[in-house]
Chain A
Amino acid sequence: MNRGRIFWASRFPVYCALICATLLLGLPFFWMVLTSLKSAQEVAVYPPRWWPQTLLWANYAEAWSSAPFARFYWNSIVVACAGAALQINGALLMAYAFAIIRFPGKTLLLVAVISTMIVPEEMKLVPNFLLLNKLGWIDTYAGLIVPGIAQAFPVFVLHQQFRQLPGSLIEAAKADGAGHGRILWQIAIPMSKPVLTATALVALLGQWNAYLWPLVITNSSIMRTLPLGLAYLRKQAEEGSAPWNLLMAAAVFSIVPVVILYVFAQKQFVEGIMRGALKG
């Protein structure tokens, strides 16, 4: 009893500081949700009212139909899923080849791949736009997805992972007559599931949140992804035709899939974010 009280007393400042820090970091999310449930008049009340008088859930339906958000959502899902899947697929094959298969001078090739990590995406903006323009890929899913497939980061992470696979196991599989395709599929992938999940999540996150490349490569509204849809609604808000409560509702439903995914797969997310970093 007494010990418990001392414990609480010593922990009290920690709790206070933690709660303050969390409120500060969480304030944007809090304000986003609260604003999304207010009426347009209530948003403009000064001084602002924190808690909405009535929770207007209908704002979400209204925001959803204030721009072709169903289409934006679909575009985001296609780009994020296909982009992440192709990125991981290419990285798997390449990382496996670099880690397991014999080839003269492969270290040099690996260096050529890994060193592209230092090349900023922004540098490729103009030439890739010109190339895709020539190919007629502007305003297409291919244009949104294909230039981002080959990334050095997942190759690097998966290469680190595959190098640590027990060599004896792979030799045994080879002795049994298994080809590299089967070893990859039946040994390397099952033994690397946590890393693979983590890398895939990071790829998915990057695609879902991407803004600059979709902005450059799309120009019709039906090919917009969610971040662009939000920016478009913001322009309307400036002109006064789309009020802030709807804008916040749109922001909420744009981040919800990733937030849910993150809350449920937090361990894998953290692992994915940290992995490429600390082992480098």
Chain B
Amino acid sequence: MTTHAGGQFTRRWRKERREWMTFLLFILPNAILFLVFTYWPICYSFWLSMTDWDLLRPAHAYVGFANYRELVSDPSFWRVLRNTLVYAGTVVVLAQVCAFLLAHLLNAPVYGQGIFRTVAFLPHVTMTAAAALVWVLLLHPQYGPLSSVYSMLALQGPNWLESSGLALAALIVVGVWKETAFASLFFLAGLQGMPRESFEAAALDGAGLLARLRHLTLPLMGPTIFFLAITGVIAATKTFDTVAIMTEGGPVYPASSMYVYHLYVLAFREYRAGYASAFALVFFAITIGVVLAQFRFALRRVHYGE
């Protein structure tokens, strides 16, 4: 009796151990890659950010927090940070408004709905490098389609990319174009999930369009808006492709540069690995800060469920 129970126990134990081994075997490939290409770089970044290294000399010179001190007093840092925040804020707000309206149109029962939806989402799947190229042309004061309007009005079209004031605005235009496509996808899904009865009841009660928007649509869309705000801000802060292809941060460098582009310049044009790492870590901290701030804001404002 006891030996039988003991045998059963060993058998179960052996089975359990085999289960564990299988688990480890299954996660092994990805786990190694996560350790090598995600966790290790984070740790190494901390160390690098405390060194002064040009990627060429064999030895790293330990400099403590000097990189961070330099960063705080670096006007380029503040400039690209400001550009990035202006870009992120403008793109996210404008794209959400555009996408909200667009989603209502795409939700309307019309002929060719599928075609309209396909075109509307296309900017999101298009290679940014290719899109950025055509935008250079679209915004061109001579070659662009807008210039037919300018010439009709006998105006001199603005040279977006060659003007310090407008280069960032040009990047914002492209950002809004791309983000609107992405956000309208989510707003459309949100609209399709709305309870039809509440809207019909509200309409019967004589609630106007604005009242319905304020008391029904917006509260129900709260989680979607919140989600899009977070993902939108994070995606916007990572903008690199359009800067690299359209302006290279110019016309006079950092006029339209953004955080990640500047990081690239520091690391791979100026070969300042240590300083660039400090730059990257501050970026990481800011990302987390933005997410936390938005969560706190959302907890107070967003009505979940109901």
Contact = CB atoms under 8 A, between A and B. Distances in A.
B118 A14 contact: no
A211 B245 CA distance: 10
A93 B27 CA distance: 6
Greatest chain A CB density within 10 A among B137, B227, B241, B260 is at B137
Interface of B: 16, 19-20, 22-24, 26-27, 29-31, 33-34, 36-42, 44-45, 48, 55, 102, 105-106, 108, 110, 116-131, 133-138, 142-145, 147-148, 150-152, 177, 180-182, 185-186, 189, 227, 231, 234, 238, 240-241, 244-245, 260, 263-264, 267-268, 273, 276-277, 280-281, 283-284, 287-288, 291
A21 B105 contact: yes
Contacts of A50: 145, 148
A47 B150 CA distance: 9
A118 B291 contact: yes
Contacts of B121: 262, 266, 269-270
Nearest to A15: B110
B138 A27 contact: yes
Interface in A251-280: 251-252, 254-255, 258-259, 262-263, 266, 269-270, 273-274, 277-278
A113 B35 CA distance: 10
A123 B231 contact: no
Greatest chain A CB density within 10 A among B30, B125, B150 is at B30
Interface string A106-135: 100100010010111111111111110000
B270 to A, nearest CB: 12
Q: Which 8 A-B pairs have the closest CB atoms?
A: A150-B33, A97-B26, A227-B129, A127-B41, A47-B151, A103-B23, A90-B30, A251-B130
Interface in A28-49: 28-29, 31-32, 35, 43-44, 46-48
Given A120-B287, A128-B37, A205 B27 contact: no
A3 interface: no
A215 B244 CA distance: 11
A270 B134 CA distance: 25
Nearest to A17: B105
A89 B129 CA distance: 28
Given A47-B148, A120-B238, A96 B26 contact: yes
Main secondary structure of the interface of B (DSSP, over half): helix
A150 B38 contact: yes
Nearest to B47: A127
Contact of A259 (B30, B40, B122): B122
Contact of A270 (B19, B185, B277): B185
Contact of A126 (B26, B123, B273): B273
Main secondary structure of the interface of A (DSSP, over half): helix
B41 to A, nearest CB: 4
Given A209-B126, A247-B133, 13 more contacts: A17-B105, A25-B181, A28-B135, A46-B143, A50-B145, A101-B22, A103-B23, A123-B280, A216-B264, A226-B127, A244-B143, A262-B121, A266-B118
Given A11-B110, A109-B27, A270-B121, A127 B48 contact: yes
17 contacts: A25-B119, A28-B131, A35-B134, A104-B20, A113-B34, A118-B288, A118-B291, A123-B283, A124-B42, A124-B45, A146-B33, A147-B37, A150-B34, A180-B26, A205-B125, A274-B189, A278-B186
